[in-house]
Structure 1
Amino acid sequence: RQLESIVKTTSFIAENHPDILADFADIIGGEYTVTRNDQLYYVPKGKRIKLSMDQSSSAVRSLLDIGFYLKHEAQTGDLLMVDEPELNLHPENQRRVARLFARLVNIGIKVFITTHSDYIIKELNTLIMLNHDQPHLKRIAEEEGYRKEELISSEKIKVYIAEEALIVLEGKTRKTKCQTLTPADIDPEMGIEARSFDATIETMNRIQEAIVWGKE
């Protein structure tokens, strides 16, 4: 559909959860607008200029579809699929996107993502770990600026790791090594066990420690 017709519709998020749109505007640092002749622009927050998509940052362009979906298309029960939402985003905005997705899940939108971002996984872990009725967790959430609507139950998240593993294929009796999706363990207290990320980070830490302390 043409953008001009899309912007005439209003999502249930725009009607019932405008604060989510405000959070998204903070992530992109402005908002998208469409003129009557179907021209698309990005308007930076607090500026009196309009930028075409060619003039806008790669982050602004990569989040365009999500922005229009949230404002004009989203309905309860939808399945939103996003391939590598971390692309072109600063680590802080990757954290914000993770919190945005958690909010969407909490209001009834299913979210399916593929990611290589340790920032997104760690932020989801934080949202899971803070989602408990304990005084020190409430204090931490308040001090760090987390809202109750962003916190998420571990029961609402499923994580699968793409890796090579031994599995029994249909019609076979013996295990075969092949690429598959392996469910990751998710602990309500400790969050997601992302083995591939953890192993890589541990390797990098080991190398850097050897560089710093190797002369001793």
Structure 2
Amino acid sequence: MKIKFSNLGSIQETELDLRPLTVIIGPNNSGKTYLAYSTYGLWQRAGRTIRIQYVSNNLKLNQQGEGTWSLTIDNDLLDLFIKDAEETAKNFQGSALESFFQDSSRKLFIKTAFKIMISRQEVENAIHQLTQQKAFSLMGGSSIKISRQDNILSFKIDSEIEEIDTSANNSLTDLFDHLNERIILSFILIIKKLLFSNAFPFPAERNAFINTYKMLANRRYKLLKETQRELFSSSSSERQLDLLKEQGDIRYPQPVEDFLDFLSEIELEEIPKTNSSNKNEFQKLADEIEKQLQNKNKTNLKPTKLGGKEIKVLVKKGLEIDIYNASSSVKQLAPLLLYLRYRASKGHFLVIDEPEMNLHPESQAKLLEALSILVNLGVRILLTTHSPYIMAHLNNLVNGNHENPEILKRQSSSLYLQDERAFLPIDKVSAYEMKDNKLVSLNDPDYGIRWDTLSDVAVDIQQKFFEIYEAGQEKADETEE
């Protein structure tokens, strides 16, 4: 999947090849966060929106018998999803983009435009994923069993259900008069969800927000936030907007607000009890991160006396401290650990801005290995970074021998986590440098990942040492004379 960006901040035009792991390195104020946030926004919209009239006019089922329909998988079907993604990107502009970024100037994104490019093979892969499921839910409460033979998909309503009750969703009933059209809509939405699954943003401000999310997410804040967001996307007067701004700055870009909602929603959920025997692979990875990066200090949600929950850090037996009294590195990792314990699922998409924040260089390398394992568990990740350690170690992780498991196992003994799942094939990784206001690919088929953004700085600093030293020696020689 590729995304084209035009007139985004200082970026005139550039293209991003979004792979299971995508890494962008570059200097401050070069547009990395704009790219990451825009990708998140596009991904969200592509997975949630659908042009119903467009679908109903371009996709028809063939009824084979009572409760059974068929659909031919051809280029027209595959192209429907491709064109839908293109249209979604095209509509992510103007007031929609102003609202997303909460741009009060209304000037930053006037000329900004995006294009999503997905391939027919990616759509084919999503359809294949769907056929591996036993059934999927039909809008209205029933279930559909799906099978595939060659290029024909067959849909069959659960045999126990003779009549579908559409009264629960009158709006869809008005739009679709026939059951087969409801099946089409359900099918389209599920494929789109497989192509663009749930996304989770981890903004650079996460360390501060992990301390204050309760206050920021209270009911009054949410009401004000929603009111102000509506003002940005409506024709309300500038006077109304100015009045809200004077009441206090409560505006955040959508990814930051969604991050706050992520923290609040996890806290409100019923948390199932886990033990060593029933932990999934994501929860086990959270344990490993705590062992390797937090000196075994455990971050978790704990019930409060008044019935709520709060984030606590177990530093030793019998001593739990509040998250705001924990080290900056523990606060930095807390959202990721909460995600792994209570949210993580195959197919998700994480957008992480500067994962290296507050971490020692060795911890940065360890975290990259953990994130690579997460990619191999089926989670797509986009990172922006300033870290030379992450880029240097990324090159190590794409140089494993995936053709020979025994060699890969031996190679893993040189990794910090000593887990061969941290190795990624080069075709699963795309790495970029932000240079001259555009993305420059660092992927090298012969070498792996070639990067120089910060290595050049290291060389420059070393050169300055020699210049300073030599100038000092010249002055000393003059004094002696």
Q: 2:327 matched to 1:70? A: no
Correspondence for 2:431 among 142, 159, 162: 159
Q: How do 1:1-216 and structure 2 match up within 5 A?
A: 1-5=265-269, 7-8=271-272, 14-26=279-291, 27-29=293-295, 30-37=297-304, 38-44=309-315, 46-131=316-401, 141-144=412-415, 146-164=418-436, 179-180=437-438, 182-188=439-445, 190-209=447-466
AA aligned opposite 1:163: K
Matched-pair contact (CA < 8 Å) for 2:434–2:440: no
Kindly report the root-mean-square deviation, in angstroms, between the aligned alpha carbons of the 2 structures: 3.0
TM-score computed with the length of structure 2 as normaliser:
0.37
Distance 1:189 1:50, change over 3 A: farther
Which shows bigger deviation, 67-76 or 22-31?
22-31
**For 1:34 and 1:137, how far apart are their aligned partners in 2?**
37
Identity of aligned residues (%): 23
Query: Deviation of residue 99 (structure 1)?
Result: 0.3
Query: Deviation of residue 199 (structure 1)?
Result: 1.4
Query: Deviation of residue 138 (structure 1)?
Result: 6.3
Deviation digits for residues 16-52 of structure 1, max 9, x if unmatched?
Answer: 35541222112223112322221221112x4431110
**For 1:35 and 1:86, how far apart are their aligned partners in 2?**
27
Equivalent pairs, count: 198
SS at match of 2:378: coil
Query: Deviation of residue 190 (structure 1)?
Result: 2.8
Matched-pair contact (CA < 8 Å) for 1:4–1:35: no
Deviation digits for residues 81-103 of structure 1, max 9, x if unmatched?
Answer: 11101111111110111101111
Distance 1:111 1:34, change over 3 A: same
AA aligned opposite 1:22: D
Query: Deviation of residue 117 (structure 1)?
Result: 0.5
Unpaired runs of 5+ in structure 1?
Answer: 165-178
Unpaired runs of 5+ in structure 2?
Answer: 1-264, 474-481
Query: Deviation of residue 157 (structure 1)?
Result: 0.8
Structure ranking higher on relative contact order (CA contacts 8 Å, 6+ apart): 2
Which shows bigger deviation, 102-111 or 16-25?
16-25
SS at match of 2:398: helix
Query: Deviation of residue 140 (structure 1)?
Result: 5.3
Matched-pair contact (CA < 8 Å) for 1:83–1:113: yes
**For 1:113 and 1:52, how far apart are their aligned partners in 2?**
28
Query: Deviation of residue 189 (structure 1)?
Result: 5.0
SS at match of 1:67: helix
**For 2:470 and 2:349, how far apart are their aligned partners in 1?**
49
**For 2:401 and 2:408, how far apart are their aligned partners in 1?**
8
Matched-pair contact (CA < 8 Å) for 2:364–2:390: yes
